[in-house]
Amino acid sequence: MNGNVNPSGKVRRCRISRNKKRYWKKGTEIQDAEDFLCGIQSDAIKEVEENVSKRHLRKSLLKKSKMPVKTKASSSESTAIEDRKPYDLWGPHLQKEMSVAENYYLLTTKKKPPKEPRTLRHIASILQHVEIAPTGASYNPPVSKYLDYVTGVAEEEKKKIKESEKLERELALLKGKCATQEEIELELRAGLDGGDDYDDEILIDENEIEQNDCGEKRPIIKRKKKKTRYLEYMERKRKETENISAFQKEQMHLIYSARKLNKEISKEIQKRMEFAKKRKEHKLMKKFAGTQRLGRGKFEPCEEPVLLTEELPGSLRELKPQGSILTERLKSLQKRNMLSIPGEKRHRRKLKNKLRIKEREDRKHQEVKLGTHLI
């Protein structure tokens, strides 16, 4: 029986707003809904059969067991831990492939590494970082290796001495061509003392030329006859026609020999392409395997230490230190185009920025003196 209905039959008014949760329990009439649900429940209950035999029950159970078993849907994402592949720390660093979700997560949390600059993996040189000294430079080397090493160093030293001697010979003045102090003074006085003699010589030469011009007779020019001029004209015409015909023949020959020309052109193009390829390779090798001029100075290799036969020690403890590790490292960096080589600064002429003011006194101003009366 509904709680809102009085025994007299009157419906009690609910004083709760309809948009509150309390109204669901007190304000709503649920009797019809309960009756409907009870009716459904009674229809669903099956009639239980009484006095059922065991044989009949066994058959019904067997029929139920023959029903197909429903398989569960296989999950798309496996929860098993994936085996990680072996990773080489010293190998080439390959960029890991990331999904869209991972990329978005890294972007939002600001954990994504910054973009690598193009110059990060730039190769300056392919030369060895640390040059290994030859076996001849050891403290206890074999005789053959030691002799080869010493002869190589001696030849390099000879080349340097020859170059310095050649430079001295080129710059030195020849014997007898050195100007003494007396000769310099005579040369300076030559313009003052011997000026008249030179003028006299010029006048004499001019007079001789005038006399020679007056004494010579003009050659008599013979006029050509009409017939000879006509013959010369015809000869010129014949040569012109011959030249035109020869040019036309040459052009026709070129037209008929087009295949041969095409082959020659293709061969020339291929030859030039090969030459350009070799030149490019040579340029790259020179760039990466050689030393570039990065600074004003010129690269000079480090001097190789040499021990004489008397200085060779018996053991490593008796060996005296030679050279410097810092200089070797510096030279290695300069050789591998990592550091610029310093040199002498160029002395450039400084330009004058200020204008030069000229002072000039007018003639009218010069005439005006102390005591003059202006009109």
| Residue 339 near residue 333, CB atoms below 8 Å | yes
Q: What is the pLDDT of residues 269-304, one digit of tens each?
A: 999 999 999 999 999 999 899 898 888 888 998 888
Per residue in 38-72, pLDDT tens?
777 655 555 555 566 777 877 777 776 555 666 66
| Domain end call among 212, 237, 256 | 256
Q: Does 242 fall in a domain?
A: yes
Strand, coil or helix: 11: strand
Question: Whole domain around residue 249: which residue ranges?
Answer: 224-256
| Band (1; pLDDT cuts 50, 70, 90) | very low
Domain-located, residue 323: no
Residue 120 lies in a domain: no
Give the total number of structural domains in the chain: 3
Cα–Cα distance list, 111 to 2, 96, 98, 100, 101 (Å): 65, 15, 13, 15, 14
CA 347, CA 19: separation in Å to the nearest integer?
Answer: 95
Write down the pLDDT at residue 257: 85
Most confident of 11-15, 26-30, 133-137: 133-137
Residue 152 to residue 31: CA distance in whole angstroms = 118
Maximum separation of any 2 CA atoms in the chain, in Å: 175
- Cβ–Cβ < 8 Å for 267, 275: no
What token pair was written down for 260?
A: 């041969």
Is 10's pLDDT higher than 60?
no
Please tell me the number of Cα atoms within 13 Å of 32 on its side-chain side: 2
Q: Indicate the pLDDT class of residue 165, thresholds 50, 70 and 90.
A: very high
pLDDT at 23: 75
Residue with tokens 């990680």: 84
Mean pLDDT of all residues in 312-335? 88
Query: Is 148 a member of any domain?
Result: no
Angle in degrees, 0-180, between the axes of helices 195-215 and 181-193, rounded to the nearest 10? 60
pTM: 0.46
For residues 15 and 4, state if they share a domain: yes
Contact 308, 146 (CB under 8 A): no
Highest mean pLDDT among 85-99, 203-217, 265-279: 265-279
Boundary-marking domain end, from 289, 310, 336: 289
Neighbours of 136 (CB within 10 A): 21
